[in-house]
Structure 1
């Protein structure tokens, strides 16, 4: 059975006259009025039209660029039809390398618009450190008051599944000049380069766009829980009833999978999410074992992994994202991605009532790559650089009575110290603390100060704000105005159009020497006026319009193979019946008062009354 619908652009319903008219009308209305200024139904139609156009014009393949000959994985076997592989291979049975770990990032901009990573461009004035100091430094937390700090923990938990450029080489670092008053301890500042693409043909013609590979699989397969390769996955498994080791279990063999605190970016929020959904995996195993007692360890593990990964995708699509972009139109659009316009109630009563993803949602529909082999993109990585969500100061409190347990800085809950906190403070209290603390708004002058002086596990000091700016330049991600043009958005003609904050406009103008075309993508996105209910920019949202649905459409385990025959009847029921709220309450029932009356676990939680 072929699962690939890699049809040429311009074929099928997306190139039919009605769809082309909708795409054209959507672009016109969006530029003249703005999707967010419309009522919900016209706003939905506008977003739908934008997605049609983005699918046709903003998916660009890098796999056809010159590469060394790479062996294909082993031919697909019967087990590949019903189970995810550790490295993401064989998701597409016709092209088993598609989306697997070690394959290239795609692009959302034309390949001929990718600037080469020349030092004069990457380190151009203002250099990344100057941008960090002048525009990103947080003097006081600007909170995102409509959500809680679990949104920050959840995002990094997802990113640990989605993408990584791998470990940077230590030779040939970028050397960033420093201002005379900069107290950075080394001169010049050194930022390690992104690893080269090992699949690139060294004899590729001059001018061939730079490419990089994803160290993780591109699929939404919960690899942050299950490991990125077969060896790591074996170390994570107990070998009994499909279950995984928890943090504090005795384990038979050492290795990276058992020492996550050595991973760059590891912190308490990531540890909490990992612990919660490792427990969820084990709970799913118990449910499947009760329903299908003849299944062995391998069967239970693979089916539980499918269920857990789908539940994570459902939570992200229908809970996390609607919480951080809580405009009524986007909330409806995101729920439509999962359940269609027919809605959750119709799905629960009748299942899919139409082959159309618009009517019945993407899960269970047809697999479609929209003419381009599936891959996450460098632009997707760029817009997910949302470090301002993270607070500097963390007040850990008791879920029972809101009493203070510990006052921490981010530095005290990062790296190896994260596991120490997880082992000494009750998990329910940690979740309660995150649930009642607002994160930061993704905006200028709100970058965590401890991440501007972040000490990596290898001891290297790093300014992550400067690194974020440098990475986009290094990857050839267009600057802000060009990025918007390539998404058919209106560019800023002057600095006053860039932001509604006059002080910021002056700061940016001064820093970029009056050239609005030089403004970096991240700076522009952080400066933007946000749509109602948004914790991040409308420009970033355009990539989500395209890629949020693509990650589901291209994955056969969310489309053609999203069936009881693959997941089991009990597994499908688990996905349907559960949310982030039920997951939290299953493993930490003492959180019930804090979650009472909430419809979304990423909204601010109830504060426990203090006992006298």
Structure 2
């Protein structure tokens, strides 16, 4: 009886939060009221917007060497959930945030209508760089770095999408052909088609450590659990040779190289610290514990540094810190936990790390909608300015194409990593807006020589994977749909451009609507996209036993837990590049613009 009353009370409070949000908007409320509304919205989303995927009967790659899976992350993400060892592992299906009846792929005709290439040319093409002035360029590199950990769809060359081109289109091949998303290798589940991931769904640092046995083994140093790093700060060339440049690794560029190098160095620093604090640990144990610590630190940085930088509204900044530290906060919570232990099991007081694992009744996976709202290519500039850390002097200018995978080592040979980090800290990414898509990503030459228009591809991907278009997406997340193009954009000129392409506001693609809608104060992305983050940002932590039940000394070691507690993005940067201290002095968030350094 008491449980039913409690459930009814929570449901009633969640409905009140939804009504308040619809009538007033959470961003217009005082911070404490806004936080309460966000909690209610999250409950509604957990109730109505979580749909699991059927398990894969024949996962790719065969059995994995699980090793000490109770106290270590496995290479493919298996055994995170001990009751369902394949949950979230490589080759598992993406889940959904909308009901199955709303997640069928569009018909072949609708996949290319309105024409995605025309949308790319007319609505996405960068006419003049629109900077996001509250952020630095490391924020743009960071999200791609993290996305490479979370998900990767494969593609197939068979039966590509054929995109008709206008007579005035300069694309060199007529018509344009776009590879399809790889189909489910083990089809047969009822309902709409599903797709599988080439990375694990867990927040486990797989972009650093690798998911193939060849790369993961080649990256290991011979002793003390460390990773192999050459003089350039990257894995040696023979290790890189094991990576498949036709897949995600082909998207590597200088921005990613900086973060890969930084957190490989961090792994090795953690190994040294653990070896000193716990000399009994073997080589394998040092590697396993350092990976746990490094992965948790990445999750912490994303939660308390990156996200508050890109959604810098006072309410969301507080919400993200509560996710990690609880309402007691970082300092008080730490003092009380050290003296009395964790007070209760609820994440409310001390935060999600160390609380009980929960999937909220739906097996954990990332979702196609989560993938769709993380399409953030406008963050990337077309032109980059490199500066000397010693005196802020401009030392080089490069276009994006000169920073891509085959040019990374040349750029690192020309400019020290400390100077590159400083240059990224001083520069701005692009705003997530229409007419701000990088031109060089609309004419991107891949490693195999083929050309790609990522603007066209981004539009096609949501259509072929059954992600609803903008207005339907808003309805399914209990947001008011836009009745007119003017209501969507908040102004008339952009509305006219959308009307010319789409004619009907119901046809506007999700990504286009996300870029077009006015943003809440302090936000780098749309409120519509934020609805997915409200749900999935906590879910990625709550479902992972290494952030919840097993976030403890017995799993991480005492020294490892202290490392996660005591570090953040600033300390990582300064540990490995202390010469960055003047550039970071007084900067509240390392993903905000850094100071220019005087000679």
Q: Structure 1 length as normaliser, TM-score?
A: 0.93
CA contact 1:76–1:90 (8 Å) conserved in 2: no
Q: Find the aligned partners of 2:260 and 2:61 in 1 and give their Cα distance.
A: 32
Aligned counterpart in structure 1 of residue 138 of structure 2, from 112, 125, 150:
150
Q: Name the residue aligned to 2:159.
A: 172
Question: Which of 238, 242, 251 in structure 2 is aligned with 1:265?
Answer: 251
Alpha-carbon distance, 1:451 to partner: 0.4
Match of 1:7 in 2: none
1:236 counterpart (219, 236, 244): 219
How big is the shift at 1:72? 11
On the 8 A contact 2:130/2:431 being kept in 1, the answer is yes
The alpha carbon displacement at 1:117 in A equals 3.9
> Residue 294 of structure 2 corresponds to which residue in structure 1?
308
Note the alpha carbon deviations across 1:300-337, whole angstroms, 9 max, x for none: 00000000000000000000000000000000000010
Distance 1:494 1:117 in 2: 23
The equivalences for 1:299-448 within 5 A come to 299-351=285-337, 352-448=342-438
| Superimposed CA distance per residue, residues 257-305 of structure 1 (whole angstroms, 9 cap, x where no aligned partner) | 4687982321110111000000000000010011111212101000000
Matches within 5 A, 1:169-318: 169-201=156-188, 208-248=191-231, 254=239, 256-257=241-242, 263-318=249-304
Task: Work out which of the residue numbers 3, 10, 16 in structure 2 matches 1:25.
Answer: 16
- The answer as to 2:68 corresponding to 1:91 is no
Q: For the Cα contact (< 8 Å) 2:246–2:448, is it kept in 1?
A: no
- The C-alpha deviation readout for 1:242-263, integer Å capped at 9, x for no partner, is 0001144785955644687982
Deviations 1:6-46 (A, max 9, x none): xxxxx978970221012101110111000000010000000
Q: Which residue pairs with 1:138 in the alignment? A: 126
The CA distance in 2 between the partners of 1:108 and 1:537, in whole Å, is: 17
Determine the C-alpha separation between the residues in 1 that align with 2:413 and 2:200.
30
Q: 1:256/1:379 Cα in 2 relative to 1: closer, same or farther (>3 Å)?
A: farther
Number of the residue aligned with 2:544:
555
Change (3 A) 1:14 1:595: farther
- Check 1:321–1:13 CA distance in 2 against 1; reply closer, same or farther (3 A cut): farther
Q: Which residue of 2 aligns with 1:46?
A: 37
**Aligned-residue offset at 1:350:** 1.9
Q: Distance in 2 between matches of 1:292 and 1:342?
A: 31
Equivalent pair of 2:149/2:204 in contact (CA under 8 Å): yes
C-alpha deviation, 1:73, in angstroms: 7.7
Aligned to 2:70: 81
In 2: Cα distance, 1:247 partner to 1:170 partner: 36
CA contact (8 A) 2:105 2:467 kept: no
Give the match's secondary structure for 2:369: helix
Is the CA contact 1:216–1:228 (under 8 Å) kept in the aligned structure 2?
yes
Note the alpha carbon deviations across 1:501-526, whole angstroms, 9 max, x for none: 3210110011102x110000001000
Residue 599 of structure 1 corresponds to 588
Q: How far apart in 1 are the matches of 2:5 and 2:326?
A: 18
Contact 1:60 1:108 in 2 (8 A): yes
1:74: how far off?
6.3
In 1, Cα distance between equivalents of 2:25 and 2:547: 31
Determine if contact 1:88/1:219 at 8 Å carries over to the other structure.
yes
Q: Is the 8 A contact 1:99 1:374 kept in 2?
A: yes
Is the Cα–Cα contact under 8 Å of residues 163 and 215 in structure 1 kept in the other structure?
A: yes
Q: What is the DSSP-based 3-state SS (H/G/I as helix, E as strand, rest coil) of the residue aligned with 2:156?
A: coil
Q: Which residue of 1 aligns with 2:150?
A: 162
Contact 1:72 1:97 (C-alpha < 8 Å) held by counterparts:
no
Q: 1:444 to 1:251 in 2, by over 3 A?
A: closer
SS state at 1:61 partner: coil
Aligned mates of 2:313, 2:4 — CA distance in 1: 29
Q: Supply the distance in 2 between the matched residues of 1:14 and 1:326 (Cα, whole angstroms).
A: 37
Where has structure 1 moved over 3 Å in runs of 4 or more? 11-15, 67-78, 247-262
Q: Is residue 101 of structure 2 the alignment partner of residue 112 of structure 1?
A: yes
Describe the shift of the 1:12–1:591 C-alpha distance in structure 2 as closer, same or farther (beyond 3 A): farther
Q: 1:510-521 alignment to 2 at 5 Å?
A: 510-513=500-503, 515-521=504-510
Q: Distance in 2 between matches of 1:71 and 1:180?
A: 44
Distance in 2 separating the partners of 1:150 and 1:491: 34
Give the structure 2 partner of residue 475 of structure 1.
465
Q: Deviations over 1:31-74 (max 9, x none)?
A: 1000000010000000000000101110001216xx64559986
Is the partner of 2:180 in helix, strand or coil?
A: coil
Give the Cα separation in 2 of the matches to 1:75 and 1:114: 32
Q: Is the 8 A contact 2:67 2:74 kept in 1?
A: no
CA contact (8 A) 1:271 1:419 kept: no
- Do the aligned partners of residues 253 and 444 (structure 1) sit closer, same or farther apart at CA in structure 2, a change above 3 Å counting? closer
Report the Cα offset of residue 232 of structure 1: 2.1
- Counterpart-to-counterpart distance in 1, 2:358 and 2:244: 38
**Separation of aligned partners in 1, 2:88 and 2:413:** 36
Using a 3 Å threshold, how does the CA distance of structure 1 residues 13 and 361 change in structure 2: closer, same or farther?
Answer: farther
Q: 5+ unaligned residues in a row in structure 1: which ranges? A: 1-10
Shift of 1:347: 2.3
Deviation at 1:179, TM superposition (A): 0.9
